[in-house]
Structure 1
Amino acid sequence: MGRLGVILVAILIAIGLSSVLVVNEGERAIVSRFGKILKDDGVTRVYAPGLHLKVPAIDKIRYLDARIQTLDGAADRFVTSEKKDLMVDSYVKWRIKDFEKYYLSTNGGIKANAETLLQRKINNDLRTEFGQRTIREIVSGKRDELQIAALKNATESAQDLGIEVVDVRVKQINLPDNVSSSIYQRMRAERQAVAKEHRAQGKEQAEIIKATIDADVTVKIAEAEKQALTVRGEGDAEAAKIYADAYGKDPEFYAFLRSLEAYKKSFSGNSDVMVLEPDGEFFEYINNAGVK
Structure 2
Amino acid sequence: MNRIVLIVLGVVLVLGAISLSSALFIVREIDQVIVLQFGRPQRVIQDPGLHIKVPFIQNVQVYERRVLGSDPPGEEVILADQKRVVVDTYTRWRIHDPVLFYQAVNSEVQAQQRLSDIIISALRRVLGNYTLTQLLSEQRTEVMAQIREQVDDEAKALGIAVTDVRIRRADLPTQTSQAIYDRIRSERDREAREARAQGRELAQQIRARADRERTVIVAEAENRAQAIRGQGDADAIRIYADAFGQDPSFFSFYRSMEAYRNSLGDSGTTMVLSPDSDFFRYFGDISGGAGASAPAPAR
Shorter-chain TM range is: 0.7 to 0.9
TM-score normalised by structure 1 residue count:
0.79
Contact 1:78 1:85 in 2 (8 A): yes
Aligned partner letter, 1:45? V
Contact 2:26 2:49 in 1 (8 A): yes
Contact 2:32 2:44 in 1 (8 A): no
After TM superposition, give the deviation of residue 272 of structure 1 in Å.
8.7
- Percent of aligned pairs with the same amino acid: 37
Q: How does 1:1-292 map to 2 (within 5 A)?
A: 21-32=25-36, 35-36=38-39, 39=42, 44-53=43-52, 61-107=60-106, 110-269=107-266, 271=268, 275-289=272-286, 290-291=289-290, 292=293
After TM superposition, give the deviation of residue 13 of structure 1 in Å.
9.4
Contact 1:28 1:46 in 2 (8 A): yes
Deviations along 1:175-209, one digit per CA (max 9) or x if unpaired, are 22223333333344344444444444444344334
After TM superposition, give the deviation of residue 173 of structure 1 in Å.
1.9
CA distance in 2, matches of 1:270, 1:205: 55
Bigger Cα Rg: 2
After TM superposition, give the deviation of residue 29 of structure 1 in Å.
2.9
RMSD: 3.3
TM-score normalised by structure 2 residue count:
0.77
Cα pair distance change 1:56/1:214, threshold 3 Å: farther
Contact 1:24 1:49 in 2 (8 A): yes
For 1:4, the equivalent position in structure 2 comes to none
Deviations along 1:20-60, one digit per CA (max 9) or x if unpaired, are 53333322233446x53561xxxx32243233345788865
Deviations along 1:211-256, one digit per CA (max 9) or x if unpaired, are 2332233222212221221122112211221122123312221222
CA distance in 1, matches of 2:223, 2:268: 41
CA distance in 1, matches of 2:192, 2:53: 79
Please state whether the residue corresponding to 1:112 is helix, strand or coil: helix
Deviations along 1:53-96, one digit per CA (max 9) or x if unpaired, are 45788865543221112212211012234554321111111111
What count of residue pairs does the alignment treat as equivalent? 278
Please state whether the residue corresponding to 2:259 is helix, strand or coil: helix
CA distance in 1, matches of 2:183, 2:27: 61
Aligned partner letter, 1:129? V
The farther-off stretch of 56-65 and 170-179 is 56-65
Please state whether the residue corresponding to 1:172 is helix, strand or coil: strand
After TM superposition, give the deviation of residue 169 of structure 1 in Å.
1.2
Q: Tell me, which stretches of 5 or more residues in structure 1 are unaligned?
A: 1-10
After TM superposition, give the deviation of residue 258 of structure 1 in Å.
2.3
